[in-house]
Every structure is written in structure tokens, then in C-alpha cells.
Amino acid sequence: MPSKSKKKDAQAASKKAEQKRKTKLVEDKTFGLKNKNKSKKVQDYVKSTTASVMGGGDRKKRVEEERKKQEKIARKAMKKAAEDERNALFNDALMATQKKTTTKLKGTSEAIGRDAASEANEKKGTSRAMKMMFQMDAKEMEDRLKEDPNYVRTLEDEVEAQRQKMFDDFKKSGKKGTPVTEETLKIWQDKKRKRRLE
């Protein structure tokens, strides 16, 4: 019967051999990947291969890490979805109110901020108009934007101002206007078609 010290030596030798075999297997599976391409996917593949071959430590720890990774991905997706929704709701309406100018050298348009803080906020995607929208009503915001020397009035703003002026003039005159019914609409459409044909 072999002695205890011989058994320990044999177990240690077999553990060393097993470790050597695992290391060799990892090197074979990841040959050329570690240094060739240092992308995140390759690094993850090398890490997962090493963990699977070497036993990867405690199973609970691996499950916990995987759960944390999934939570992080879910949080990121929720944040992106919320940002996309906010952009869908507000960006179209506020694109016209963002300050734009063209540089004479390059001929491109770029945002110009009053100071470094506003530039930093614009880089984050928050326009000056967006901030103002939450702080005041529409009329006051329009007046403030008109005071700004860099404010460029858009075509939509001009059309809306003219429409509002005509509406106010119409209200002051006391006229009720022509009521639009199906018959009057058809008459108007016929007149318009005749004018086009002529």
C-alpha cells in the first residue's frame, strides 16, 4: 500500500498535468485571437472559452455576473428607448427654434452657443429652446427667441405669424366668413379646376 505522501505527490502531479492540459486546450481554441484582433467580441470569446475550459470558478458567481450583464443591457435599452421617445416627441417641433448659422469659410451650418455651458448642453442633445419650453409659455418663449441676435426665423414661423395676423384681423372685422359645407366646397373645387385648365 502506497504511503500518504506518495498519494499527495501523485495527486499534485495529476493536478499539474490536468492544468497543463487545460492551458494547452485554451491556447489551441484561441490561437491567434488574443493579439490579432483586440475587439470586444474577441475578448469576450477568449474570456468565455477560458472560463469554460478552466471550470470558470464558482457557478453561482458566473450566474450572478450573467444576471448583472443582462440587467445592464436591459437598463441601456430602456434608456435608449426613453431617449428615442423624447426625441420623437420634441425634436421635430424644436428643430426650427434651434439657433443655426453658416460659416463663410466652410459653408456649413453649426450650432452657436452663448457660453461653454450652453455648448455642452447642446452637445448632449438639449437645445436652448427645449430648456426654455419648460420654463415659460409659448408667447414668452417666442419673444425671448426674437430678442436673441443669433435667432433666424424659419419659414414655418413666418407663415404661422402671417396666419395669426390674418386671423386676428378677421376677428376684429366682425365678419363671420363663408360657412364651409359640402356644396360650397364642391363649388370652390370646380372653380379651382377650371382655373387650372385655363
Rounded to two decimals, what is the model's pTM?
Answer: 0.26
pLDDT value of residue 162: 92
In terms of Cα–Cα distance, which of 108, 107, 148, 106 is closest to 127? Answer: 148
Please report, for the chain, the start and end positions of each structural domain, with discontinuous segments joined by +: 9-79, 110-152, 153-198
Q: Give SS3 for 110.
A: strand
DSSP 85-103: HHHHHHHHHHTTTS--EE-
pLDDT value of residue 173: 86
Report the distance separating Cα 74 and Cα 70, nearest Å: 6
Report the distance separating Cα 154 and Cα 92, nearest Å: 13
Question: Are 29 and 53 spatial neighbours (Cβ–Cβ below 8 Å)?
Answer: yes
Phi-psi category of residue 43: left, alpha or beta, with phi > 0 → left and psi -120 to 50 → alpha: alpha
Which stretches of the chain score pLDDT less than 70? 1-8, 34-38, 56-58, 92-138
Report the distance separating Cα 154 and Cα 97, nearest Å: 8
In terms of Cα–Cα distance, which of 35, 113, 146, 126 is closest to 86? Answer: 126
Tell me the pLDDT tens digit for each residue of 128-146. 666 655 665 667 777 777 7
Question: Are 151 and 145 spatial neighbours (Cβ–Cβ below 8 Å)?
Answer: yes
